[in-house]
Structure 1
Amino acid sequence: MKVRLKLRDLKKHFTLEQYYRKLDRIPIDERSILIESKKGVDLAGNMKAILKELKAPEYGNYQIYITAKKHLHKKIQTLIEQTGTKNVQIVHMGSKKYYQILSKAKYLFFDTSSVMSYIKKPGQIIINTWHGTPLKKMGKYLPTKANPFGNVQRNLLMADYLVYPNEQMRKIMFDAYYLDKAFKGKALMTGYPRNEIFFDAEKARADREKLEESAKKVFVYMPTWRGELVNIDSKSQIAEMQKRLLLLDKKLPKHIVIYAKMHPFIGDSLDYTDLKQIKKFPNQWDTYELLNASDGLITDYSSVFYDFANARKKIILWAYDEEEYIKERGLYENLSDLPFPVVKTESDLVRELDSEKQYDESAFMESYGYCDCANATKKLLHHVLLQEALKDGEIIDYATHNQKENVLIYVSTLAMNGMTTSLLSLMEHLDLNAKNYFAVYRETSKAKTAERLDILPKEVDCLPICSDEYTFSELVWFAMLHKLNLKWKCVEQHVDQLFRREIRRLYPNWKIDYAIQFTGYESHIIHLFENMDAKRTIYVHNDMVKEVDVKGNQHRLTLQKAYRNYDHVAIVTEDLRISTKSFGTPDEQIICVPNCHAHQTIVNKGKQEIVFQDYTECNISQDALIQKLQEPGVKFVNIGRFSPEKGQDMLIRAFERFADTHRDAKLVLIGGYGKSYEQIRALAKDSRYADNIIIIRQINNPIPILKKCDLFVLSSHYEGFGLVLLEATSVGVPVVSTEIVGPTGFMKAHNGYLTEESEEGLLRAMNDYMEGKIKLLNVDFEKYNQTAVAQFERLMD
């Protein structure tokens, strides 16, 4: 966590300070209801229908609060007045009053998600209705940079009730947001409150008479948003939409009128001056009331057609960019599989608008409309507020559906390195169905590499950390520990208090049985997992004394505290016991848990072709690399991140001296990331044997290259273990290692070749290989992995 404070953030920090300080002092008001629609930018859909129902006499004793962005106060006030509901107050998003209501409201209704800083208190009841049956891909099926879902997932998991209009939507939502194993509330299959209007034919007739164009054919156009949710640039969409509506308007016959309801991100930006038959959606009308009064709906990929289908009126899908949109966003269903006509051009759209409905949506409604009904809102509120029972099939209780223990494993960025390899190898050898395994990562760290999540086994669910929420004083206490290195007891206590509160915010309604900080790095996560009410384990993959003293990338006080307080400190090799104990770690808390090795997976990977990815960097082409590996001459290889402790510079210098007498020798250096990359690449470029030194950065599968080499050289100055020693052995490549803490014990146990940590030592190893003195390691992989899994399971005894 970087301790940076900008002046514009001060107000937020001080507001949070008051909120968190007073959170548990403010009693819950049993008669207080908070309704939040689209994070305060609107009052529509399910939330408006719920507010309207709350004017019934049985709810007369409730005080209702509606959230609104401050600049939208008048708009929200007008929408509230349209419902006729009394006892309603508006609270501005982010204000002190807003956080007071978050603290005291007994019932909280959301149609998206709450603010990230919200902490659910015991006794509060959360009802999340979402805002539509999804056609577009969502949650885990979208790139994280386009759709961060951590806060949405957090809100869904802490809800007591999730409301659905059909089983298909429930399945999609549970799958997209990893709810199946973790959700402990109830799913209400009671239908959408906003859809009950489509069962009121009398109101449709009455509202139709209020329209100026009641004698014409009236359609509503509601297109979806086409951009990224975190990078909103609507200019191109506005220009495209303006152009298409002008073309359409010229082709429309006089007896057809269209009301255009644009997405809020476009808002009022369209110019309707030159449009005659296409009109701006009237602000005084509720969206669904006008839909109900219309003759039909025009949309594209918006979920609104699932709702409107209840009216049994004509639906037209104007998908002029279908191929492009599907490629960019993805859909759960093919438009061609839906019963509604799909058109591409303005002319085809006009033809459909001017013709009668010619399709049967009965089968579609059996799948998507069977829960919707005329009294959905009443059923929902009577059940939640008045504790009235629902019929069989209308409620699914998940409180006892999955009684397995929950295991949280911090996986960091899943970078292309040995730590990720060891994690995946471990998961390959575990029974992942015996417990609920959740991969924890920081959402911001995965923004640019979201596709890396795909390498996790399908049995492992993801649990992203959506944000950090700190008060001003908490930042100060954290800085006192991490910047000033103050070992005061009060500092430790306040830092612990910060992270215990963060755990309440991130994991409400949760029972965490095991918390495994698998990487052993990142102070924020070390503190977070340390304060969980669970059996806690922190891994040690490297010589952390060297990491602190040489690289300065770890905080000594944090490690000392963690190694003292975690239930287990898991070292990956006995070589790390002495350095780990030097932090004051009790010996009885240290358990040696060797890295598992996916032997057969590596063998299979070795059989694949050499393939560069788009992001792979290499000083020669893929074809040139393949040619080099086929040429005569001994080939040495090193695989590891480009970092000073890996000794690649020392290896290059030793290779140059070896190549003086073996001119056809090759050296291949493969790495994933690291700050020494440019230095190593420059060193290779300036070498007198530059043509025979190959540098590769970021390749998904380096094993086929490894397999074509003759000797793997571990040239590190210090190391954790060096899992690539096992990988090389699996594909029949002998290995040599510098005699350092980490790999030494393993190498000696398996008759491996060790050499001194120097240029001379590496040169000697190369020459000894040429003389036949370095043989393949003798490793029983099945026995090795059995030991590794047994040791890991000890962590959860």
Structure 2
Amino acid sequence: MKNILIASFDMEVGGVERSLISMLENFDYQKYAVDLMLYRHQGDFMNLVSDQVNLLDEIPKYTTFRKSISETLKDRQYGIGLSRILSKMNAHFVGKIKGVAEPGYYQMQLMWKYALPFLPKIDKEYDVAVSYLWPHYFVADKVRARKKIAWIHTDYSTIETDINTDLKMWNKFDHIVAVSEACKNSFLKKYSELEHKIIVIENITSPDFIRKMANEEVENPMVSDNRFKIVTVARLSHAKGIDNAVKALKRLKDKGYNDIAWYVVGYGGDEPMIKDLIKKFKLEDNLILLGKQTNPYPYMKEADLYVQPSRYEGKAVTVGEAQILSKPVMITNYITAASQVKDRVDGYITDLSVEGIADGIEKLYKTPTIREQLSNNCNSTDYSNSYELNKLYSVIND
């Protein structure tokens, strides 16, 4: 039996976390002993972690990556606290010079780089260590393993990172796993020299689980709402484009579409800005923020249309889940969009802009036959893919 370590940040509600839960649920525990390292034991998905996984104890220094700087200093983790302050100042300075819209990725790189000397190593040696969420410095520098694998979930061609710093980290891994072909291709635009390391393993989906959860009773205002209902499940962040969703809905309302209600399930740092936009455009009755929900599927089930207004994605877990529930899906034309849906077959791809989102919704609103066709095609498609894990087993055993 081979010893595997899988590392991630926590189990807060999110697409990456849901994909990890699904992978752990389908793992072959007859052949592999799996330790799970979560930097902090928090999040609404904690109780969904398979009981066949050995959850390692928290290590105080690593919990700081899910705490504020003030909490970190209060915990007397002064070295790490100073690292966080320096990384924030440096990233803000560089971001201003380069005009970077979202310097958070670069800040996270610096945070780990500066904090590494203060972080302890793991004593146990593993056959394989998997780092499931970037940045991958913990597994790269603090874990002993015969083989190391790093996962990528986003479109790296669209985010600002220090390439040379990243390459030093990537070169400590034997394999890099992308969640889609498009995600792989966008990664290689930035890191072409790593082509020999990269493979594709799609996010594991469990249709039976999703359909079962969709039938759970939750407090759901959508049930009694007779308007045309759109749902988006996403983190409230720049990448997910919820601000563009608000602006698109404003355009639709200005054109006279007053019976559209857009429900957003999720939370995140952009929430105050999005609330301000909703108030500015007087959309309080039309765009409803439902906040963090452990089970988003009953909300998806009630939707007339699922929309993903993202600026970039690796492969959006929620889009696949909406398809499993046979919902007509509309996504923006981010770089990896074509690997997410077959346009006009099991999804509708629209221009990545406020105008594109509004026009796409208007088209689908006015043409129920298209929505029905998309829904029927999803219903007749088998989205289960636990066989994808065989690719990981091949890499482990190679």
TM-score, normalised relative to structure 1:
0.41
- Specify which of 113, 117, 129 is matched with residue 515 of structure 1: 129
**Contact 2:140/2:172 (8 A) holds in 1:** no
- Specify which of 119, 136, 141 is matched with residue 528 of structure 1: 141
Mark the CA change 1:500 to 1:689 in structure 2 (over 3 Å): closer, same or farther.
closer
Mark the CA change 1:579 to 1:779 in structure 2 (over 3 Å): closer, same or farther.
farther
**Contact 2:174/2:197 (8 A) holds in 1:** yes
Q: Which has the bigger relative contact order, CA under 8 A and spacing at least 6?
A: 2
Equivalent position SS for 2:252: helix
Aligned to 2:46: 453
Aligned to 2:288: 694
Alpha-carbon distance in 2 for matches of 1:667, 1:683: 14
Alpha-carbon distance in 2 for matches of 1:588, 1:779: 37
Is 1:430 the counterpart of 2:32? The answer is no
CA offsets, 1:333-375, max 9 Å, x none? xxxxxxxxxxxxxxxxxxxxxxxxxxxxxxxxxxxxxxxxxxx
1:584 is displaced (CA, Å) by 4.3
Mark the CA change 1:751 to 1:691 in structure 2 (over 3 Å): closer, same or farther.
closer
Query: What does 1:258-657 align with in structure 2 at a 5 Å threshold?
Result: 404-442=1-39, 445-446=40-41, 449=42, 452-468=45-61, 502-503=120-121, 506-507=122-123, 510-521=124-135, 524-528=137-141, 532-547=144-159, 549=160, 555-581=162-188, 582-611=190-219, 625-626=220-221, 628-657=222-251
1:598 is displaced (CA, Å) by 1.4
- Specify which of 356, 367, 375 is matched with residue 761 of structure 1: 356
Is 1:737 the counterpart of 2:331? The answer is yes
Mark the CA change 1:589 to 1:420 in structure 2 (over 3 Å): closer, same or farther.
same
Alpha-carbon distance in 2 for matches of 1:565, 1:796: 16
1:632 is displaced (CA, Å) by 2.1
How many residue pairs end up in the alignment?
349
Equivalent position SS for 2:25: helix
Aligned to 1:718: 312
**Contact 2:13/2:44 (8 A) holds in 1:** no
1:572 is displaced (CA, Å) by 0.4
Alpha-carbon distance in 2 for matches of 1:585, 1:526: 21
- Specify which of 374, 382, 385 is matched with residue 785 of structure 1: 385
Alpha-carbon distance in 2 for matches of 1:471, 1:682: 36
Letter in 2 for 1:573: S
Aligned to 1:388: none
Alpha-carbon distance in 2 for matches of 1:700, 1:600: 17
Alpha-carbon distance in 1 for matches of 2:169, 2:137: 11
Is 1:679 the counterpart of 2:273? The answer is yes
Letter in 2 for 1:461: N
Equivalent position SS for 1:596: coil
Equivalent position SS for 1:436: strand
1:751 is displaced (CA, Å) by 4.3
1:741 is displaced (CA, Å) by 2.0
Mark the CA change 1:556 to 1:739 in structure 2 (over 3 Å): closer, same or farther.
same
Equivalent position SS for 2:171: helix
Alpha-carbon distance in 2 for matches of 1:408, 1:758: 41
1:499 is displaced (CA, Å) by 7.4
Alpha-carbon distance in 2 for matches of 1:791, 1:700: 29
1:752 is displaced (CA, Å) by 2.5
Alpha-carbon distance in 2 for matches of 1:527, 1:683: 41
**Contact 2:35/2:55 (8 A) holds in 1:** yes
Alpha-carbon distance in 2 for matches of 1:573, 1:728: 18
Aligned to 2:106: none
**Contact 2:232/2:263 (8 A) holds in 1:** yes
CA RMSD in angstroms, aligned pairs only: 3.1
1:528 is displaced (CA, Å) by 3.0
Aligned to 1:16: none
Equivalent position SS for 1:713: strand
Letter in 2 for 1:544: Y
Alpha-carbon distance in 2 for matches of 1:483, 1:780: 51
**Contact 1:559/1:583 (8 A) holds in 2:** no
1:429 is displaced (CA, Å) by 2.1
Aligned to 1:669: 264
Query: What does 1:31-70 align with in structure 2 at a 5 Å threshold?
Result: none
1:784 is displaced (CA, Å) by 4.8
1:683 is displaced (CA, Å) by 1.7
Alpha-carbon distance in 1 for matches of 2:2, 2:394: 15
Letter in 2 for 1:701: N
Greater helix content: 2
Alpha-carbon distance in 2 for matches of 1:414, 1:563: 24
Give identity over the alignment, percent.
Answer: 21
CA offsets, 1:691-748, max 9 Å, x none? 1211021111111111101111110011111111111112221101111123322313
Alpha-carbon distance in 2 for matches of 1:429, 1:515: 18
**Contact 1:607/1:704 (8 A) holds in 2:** yes
Equivalent position SS for 1:570: strand
CA offsets, 1:251-308, max 9 Å, x none? xxxxxxxxxxxxxxxxxxxxxxxxxxxxxxxxxxxxxxxxxxxxxxxxxxxxxxxxxx
CA offsets, 1:659-704, max 9 Å, x none? 3422121000111x32101111222233333212110211111111
Mark the CA change 1:664 to 1:466 in structure 2 (over 3 Å): closer, same or farther.
same
1:586 is displaced (CA, Å) by 2.2
CA offsets, 1:197-231, max 9 Å, x none? xxxxxxxxxxxxxxxxxxxxxxxxxxxxxxxxxxx
Is 1:794 the counterpart of 2:394? The answer is yes
Equivalent position SS for 2:385: helix
Query: What does 1:144-155 align with in structure 2 at a 5 Å threshold?
Result: none
Alpha-carbon distance in 2 for matches of 1:730, 1:471: 47
**Contact 1:542/1:742 (8 A) holds in 2:** no
Mark the CA change 1:501 to 1:534 in structure 2 (over 3 Å): closer, same or farther.
farther
**Contact 1:637/1:712 (8 A) holds in 2:** yes
**Contact 1:569/1:590 (8 A) holds in 2:** yes
Letter in 2 for 1:569: I
Alpha-carbon distance in 1 for matches of 2:44, 2:340: 34
1:544 is displaced (CA, Å) by 2.4
Equivalent position SS for 1:691: coil
Q: Unaligned 5+ residue runs, structure 2? A: 63-76, 95-112
Equivalent position SS for 2:129: strand
Letter in 2 for 1:665: I
Alpha-carbon distance in 2 for matches of 1:678, 1:692: 17
Alpha-carbon distance in 1 for matches of 2:360, 2:4: 44
Alpha-carbon distance in 2 for matches of 1:500, 1:644: 31
1:408 is displaced (CA, Å) by 0.7
Q: Which has the larger radius of gyration?
A: 1
Mark the CA change 1:564 to 1:632 in structure 2 (over 3 Å): closer, same or farther.
same
Mark the CA change 1:451 to 1:592 in structure 2 (over 3 Å): closer, same or farther.
closer
Letter in 2 for 1:793: Y
Aligned to 1:96: none
Alpha-carbon distance in 2 for matches of 1:723, 1:501: 32
TM-score, normalised relative to structure 2:
0.79
1:577 is displaced (CA, Å) by 2.1
